[in-house]
């Protein structure tokens, strides 16, 4: 498959090049040249297929022939080695739990898939690749875990100081080997801006092969389609009018759902559930897209003021506002509403939601008010104990830590503090070619 840049000033590239480059030379995000829908029969008989078989059919056209089919099967088996259960919350609301992977957030799937693609592309390559990634918490954790020990791949993670949870910080800073953590005195947007700068800095890119593992990277973004297929497989025999409410930050996940819909998945509608960082909610009301500085909330993985994947969503709907509005609604909820939702889900349904999932739940409720016949699935994007302090405070109940979290909690934090771009540049150039 060929990919073009959404800024349309760079050459088309193969899947391999798109993965290795991350972002096109003209700063544009890559987008697949064609999207060929799967046959209707695939969806009619989807319950006969395993998750790996479904994922294979969904992603095949986007990654072959650069990843040969037998290798793709193996990568998918290693990527999807945990469950994605659906839990009914009440009559027309269910949740899809995406937190059963090694770092207990949905980003594990994208990170594991991308790490294995890069590992495959790098197998005969003697050049080292550096994965440079900005994180609001979960990306860093998933990328550190997914890439740990991958040959000839070095990972540098930038995270905003004091703005990720203690557990997330441990997941990012304590693995060692080929993973380095940079603690940035600033916000997530500052981290993201520094990463973007590095990609455009000739001094760096002449010496270091950089790639990104944010959802701007097609190998991180596209595998997120699998969730929507897997949920559909579990629900379609018993439910009609399935809609998804996706707690959204950089909008990679909801955009992947829309790609699944382009492949023919019968999804009636998407809901982008936002916290106070709500540029898209406002855009859908006013048609004015006004990026702002992010504000800090209790659902910190969604504290994004200028969501990078929104441009892909615009592309999917051919930049036609009406098309977009027919397929996407967006609502935003503040911390007080989010806390109240966590308590409500716990009290009424005995379910412990994390703050991100709770925002998704509120998105479902808002949509169902006007569309009572739909069945709304909100994505539970992280395990509640990743946000232990707020969860225990709101529902006033002690939580037991799952083994994945227990395993890192007592590890030692190792991070380098930086406060501006020139310090990042110095770090990258200094550590070039060495194991850090």
Ligand X SMILES: *Cc1c(COP(=O)(O)O)cnc(C)c1O
Is 302 near ligand X (CB under 6 A)? yes
Give 32 or 384: the residue with its C-beta nearer to ligand X: 384
Nearest CA to 402 out of 102, 166, 86 is that of: 102
Is 145 near ligand X (CB under 6 A)? no
Rounded Cα gap, residues 247 and 377, in angstroms: 11
Is 382 near ligand X (CB under 6 A)? yes
Mark 76-115 with x for binding to ligand X (rule: CB under 6 A) and - for no binding: -----------------------------x-x--------
**Residues of 392-424 as b/e, b for ≥16 C-beta within 10 angstroms?**
eebbeeeeeeeebbeebeeeeeebbebeebebb
Is 253 near ligand X (CB under 6 A)? yes
- Tell me which residue has tokens 């929507």: 228
Q: Which residue has the closest beta carbon to ligand X? A: 138
Radius of gyration of the chain (CA): 20
Q: Stretches 1-9, 69-77, 250-258, 345-353: which one binds ligand X (CB under 6 A)?
A: 250-258
Distances (CA, A) of 175 to 50, 132, 414: 32, 16, 9
Rounded Cα gap, residues 271 and 251, in angstroms: 11
Distances (CA, A) of 101 to 161, 348, 428: 25, 27, 30
Q: Stretches 88-96, 118-126, 247-255, 424-432: which one binds ligand X (CB under 6 A)?
A: 247-255
Is 219 near ligand X (CB under 6 A)? no
Q: Angle, nearest 10°, between helix axes 138-147 and 166-173?
A: 30
Total interface residues for ligand X by CB under 6 A: 16
Is 381 near ligand X (CB under 6 A)? yes
Q: Stretches 27-35, 251-259, 331-339, 398-406: which one binds ligand X (CB under 6 A)?
A: 251-259
DSSP β-ladder status, 179-184 and 416-418: parallel
Is 231 near ligand X (CB under 6 A)? no
Mark 16-55 with x for binding to ligand X (rule: CB under 6 A) and - for no binding: ----------------------------------------
Q: Give the interface with ligand X as residue ranges (CB under 6 A).
A: 105, 107, 138, 215, 247-253, 301-302, 356, 381-382
């Amino acid at each position: 498959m060929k990919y073009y840049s959404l800024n349309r000033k760079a050459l088309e590239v193969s899947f391999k090049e798109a993965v290795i480059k991350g972002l096109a030379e003209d700063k544009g995000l890559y987008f697949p040249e064609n999207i060929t829908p799967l046959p209707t029969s695939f969806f009619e008989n989807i319950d006969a297929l395993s998750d790996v078989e479904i994922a294979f059919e969904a992603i095949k056209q986007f990654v072959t022939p650069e990843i040969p089919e037998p290798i793709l099967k193996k990568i998918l088996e290693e990527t999807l080695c945990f469950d994605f259960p659906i839990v009914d919350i009440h009559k027309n609301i269910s949740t899809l739990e995406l937190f059963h992977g090694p770092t207990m957030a949905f980003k594990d799937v994208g990170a594991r898939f991308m790490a294995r693609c890069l590992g495959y592309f790098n197998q005969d390559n003697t050049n080292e690749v550096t994965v440079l990634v900005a994180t609001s918490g979960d990306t860093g954790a998933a990328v550190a875990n997914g890439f740990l020990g991958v040959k000839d791949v070095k990972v540098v993670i930038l995270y905003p100081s004091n703005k990720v949870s203690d557990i997330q910080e441990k997941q990012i800073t304590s693995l060692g080997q080929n993973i380095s953590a940079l603690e940035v005195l600033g916000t997530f947007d500052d981290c993201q801006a520094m990463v973007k700068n590095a990609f455009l800095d000739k001094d760096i890119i002449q010496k270091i092969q950089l790639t990104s593992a944010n959802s701007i990277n097609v190998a991180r973004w596209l595998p997120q389609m699998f969730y929507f297929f897997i949920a559909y497989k579990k629900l379609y025999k018993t439910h009609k009018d399935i809609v998804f409410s996706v707690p959204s930050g950089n909008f990679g996940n909801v955009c992947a759902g829309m790609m699944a819909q382009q492949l023919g998945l019968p999804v009636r509608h998407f809901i982008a559930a936002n916290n106070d960082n709500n540029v898209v909610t406002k855009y859908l009301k006013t048609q004015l897209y006004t990026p702002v500085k992010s504000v800090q909330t209790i659902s910190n993985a969604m504290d994004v003021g200028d969501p990078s994947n929104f441009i892909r969503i615009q592309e999917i709907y051919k930049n036609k506002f009406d098309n977009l509005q027919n397929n996407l609604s967006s609502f935003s909820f503040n911390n007080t509403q989010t806390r109240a939702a966590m308590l409500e889900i716990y009290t009424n349904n005995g379910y412990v939601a994390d703050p991100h999932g709770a925002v998704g739940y509120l998105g479902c409720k808002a949509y169902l008010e006007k569309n009572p016949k739909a069945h709304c699935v909100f994505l539970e994007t992280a395990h509640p104990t990743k946000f232990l302090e707020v969860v225990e405070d709101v529902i006033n109940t002690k939580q037991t830590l799952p083994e994945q979290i227990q395993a890192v909690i007592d590890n030692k934090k190792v991070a380098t503090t930086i406060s501006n771009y020139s310090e990042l540049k110095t770090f990258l150039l200094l550590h070039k070619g060495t194991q850090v």
